[in-house]
Amino acid sequence: MRAFNPPDWSAARDELRDVLNASGWPDDVIHDAELALHELFVNAWKHAGSEAPLVVVVLLNRTLRVSVSDDSPDLPEQRASADPYELSGRGLHLVRSLTHRFGTDARKRGKSVWFELDAAA
């Protein structure tokens, strides 16, 4: 049985914030990255049933890449358009609008859903 409340994502959020603050990223971009991470984290819990999604934060050559992995092989559904009156289904649209790139990678067991943000020059 799955818990009603999502797992604690504060450690992943704090790590993301620390990495970006230390690298001098602007607050508004940090907030966008946090929101995109939250969407992927909750999706891994809600739709893939992962009680503890694996989060990897990498900053390389001024490009941030955040991936959230779970054990479900089911790829996320990208709806053609988000109905503003639906109770769910806008998360990936939000991630797309907040980030420069996002996608999925199949893993030996499950998948990773990721996004990238580029630092301003």
In this predicted model, what pLDDT tens digit does every residue of 23-38 receive, in sequence order? Answer: 999 999 999 999 999 9
Per-residue pLDDT at 52: 82
Domain ranges of the chain: 10-118
Per-residue pLDDT at 82: 58
Segment (H or E) for 73: none
User: Residue 9: pLDDT band by 50, 70, 90 thresholds?
Assistant: confident
Per-residue pLDDT at 84: 63
Residue that wins the pLDDT comparison between 58 and 8: 58
Asked whether the beta carbons of 50 and 70 are under 8 A apart, the reply is: yes
Q: Which amino acid is at 90?
A: R
CA distance 101 to 52: 24
Per-residue pLDDT at 88: 64
- Is it the case that residue 1 has pLDDT exceeding 50? no
How far out from the chain centre does Cα 72 lie?
Answer: 16
Q: What is the mean pLDDT of residues 32-45?
A: 93
In this predicted model, what pLDDT tens digit does every residue of 62-118 receive, in sequence order? Answer: 999 999 999 888 877 766 665 666 656 678 888 999 999 999 999 998 999 999 999
What kind of fold does domain 10-118 have according to CATH? Heat Shock Protein 90 (3.30.565)
Q: What is the mean pLDDT of residues 2-10?
A: 72
